[in-house]
A and B are shown apart, each in its own frame.
Chain A
Amino acid sequence: MPKTTENKAPIFVRKIWQLTTTNFAIEWTNGVCMRYLLGTLQANCPCAACRERPPEQTPTPKADIQARSISSVGRYALRIDFDTGCNHGIFDFDYLYSLGEKFVPTEEPVH
Chain B
Amino acid sequence: MPLKMFREDDQIGPLDKVGNIVAVAAGKGGVGKSTVSVNLALAFRQMGYRVGIFDADIYGPSVRQMLPEDRLPTKKDQKLLPAMCAGIRVMTMAYFRGETEGALVRAPIANRVISQFMQEVDWGELDLLFVDFPPGTGDIQLTLSQQARLNAAVMVTTPSKVSTLDVNKAMGLFAQVQVPVLGVIENMAYYQTDSQEEPLYPFGRGGGEELARNSGVPFLGSIPIDSKLCQCADKGESLFLKYPNLPVTHQFLNLAQILKQHLKALAQTKGDHLESFELIWEKTNA
Provided the pairs A5-B258, A7-B258 are in contact, do residues A72 and B274 lie with their beta carbons within 8 angstroms? yes
User: B283 an interface residue at 8 Å Cβ cutoff?
Assistant: yes
How far apart are A76's CB and chain B's nearest CB, in angstroms? Answer: 5
When each residue 212-247 of chain B gets 1 if its CB lies under 8 Å from chain A and 0 otherwise, what string results?
A: 011111111110100000000000000000000000
Q: Is the CB of A72 within 8 A of B278?
A: yes
Residues of A within 8 A of B262 (CB): 10
Task: Flag the segment in B9-17, B22-30, B39-47, B264-272 that touches A.
Answer: B264-272
Residues of B within 8 A of A24 (CB): 279
When each residue 249-277 of chain B gets 1 if its CB lies under 8 Å from chain A and 0 otherwise, what string results?
A: 00000100110011011000100111111
Q: Is the CB of A69 within 8 A of B280?
A: yes
How far is it, in angstroms, between the C-alpha of A41 and the C-alpha of B284 when the chains are bound? 20
Residues of A within 8 A of B213 (CB): 90, 92
Task: Kindly report which residue of chain A lies nearest to residue B171, judged by CB atoms.
Answer: A74
Which of B214, B265, B279, B283 lies in contact with A9, CB distance below 8 A?
B265
How far is it, in angstroms, between the C-alpha of A53 and the C-alpha of B262 when the chains are bound? 33
Q: Is the CB of B283 within 8 A of A66?
A: yes
Residues of A within 8 A of B279 (CB): 16-18, 24, 69-71, 111
Chain B contact residue count (CB 8 A cutoff): 40
Interface residues of B in 118-140 (CB under 8 A from A): none
How far is it, in angstroms, between the C-alpha of A2 and the C-alpha of B216 when the chains are bound? 20
Residues of A within 8 A of B274 (CB): 12-16, 72
Q: Is the CB of A72 within 8 A of B283?
A: no
For A21, A29, A76, which residue has the most chain B Cβ atoms within 10 angstroms?
A76
User: B180 an interface residue at 8 Å Cβ cutoff?
Assistant: yes
Residues of B within 8 A of A104 (CB): none
For B214, B216, B281, which residue has the most chain A Cβ atoms within 10 angstroms?
B281
Q: Is the CB of B276 within 8 A of A72?
A: yes
Which of B265, B273, B281, B284 lies in contact with A67, CB distance below 8 A?
B281
How far is it, in angstroms, between the C-alpha of A8 and the C-alpha of B285 when the chains are bound? 37
Residues of A within 8 A of B280 (CB): 68-69
Residues of B within 8 A of A16 (CB): 274, 277, 279
Q: Is the CB of B181 within 8 A of A71?
A: no
Q: Is the CB of B265 within 8 A of A4?
A: no
User: A19 an interface residue at 8 Å Cβ cutoff?
Assistant: yes
How far is it, in angstroms, between the C-alpha of A107 and the C-alpha of B277 when the chains are bound? 21
Q: Is the CB of A3 within 8 A of B285?
A: no
Residues of A within 8 A of B117 (CB): none
**Smallest CB-CB A-B distances: 3 pairs:** A74-B216, A73-B216, A12-B273
Q: Which residues of A contact B (CB under 8 A)?
A: 1-5, 7-10, 12-21, 24, 29, 66-77, 90, 92, 110-111
Q: Name 7 extra pairs, CB < 8 A, besides A17-B279, A71-B278.
A: A2-B190, A4-B222, A9-B265, A21-B284, A70-B278, A70-B281, A72-B278
Q: Which residues of B contact A (CB under 8 A)?
A: 180-181, 189-190, 199, 209, 213-222, 224, 254, 257-258, 261-262, 264-265, 269, 272-286
Q: Give me 17 A-to-B residue pairs in the complex whose CB atoms sit less than 8 angstroms apart, sorted by A's number.
A: A2-B199, A4-B221, A4-B222, A7-B257, A10-B218, A12-B274, A18-B281, A19-B286, A20-B286, A66-B283, A69-B281, A71-B277, A72-B274, A74-B216, A75-B275, A77-B216, A111-B279
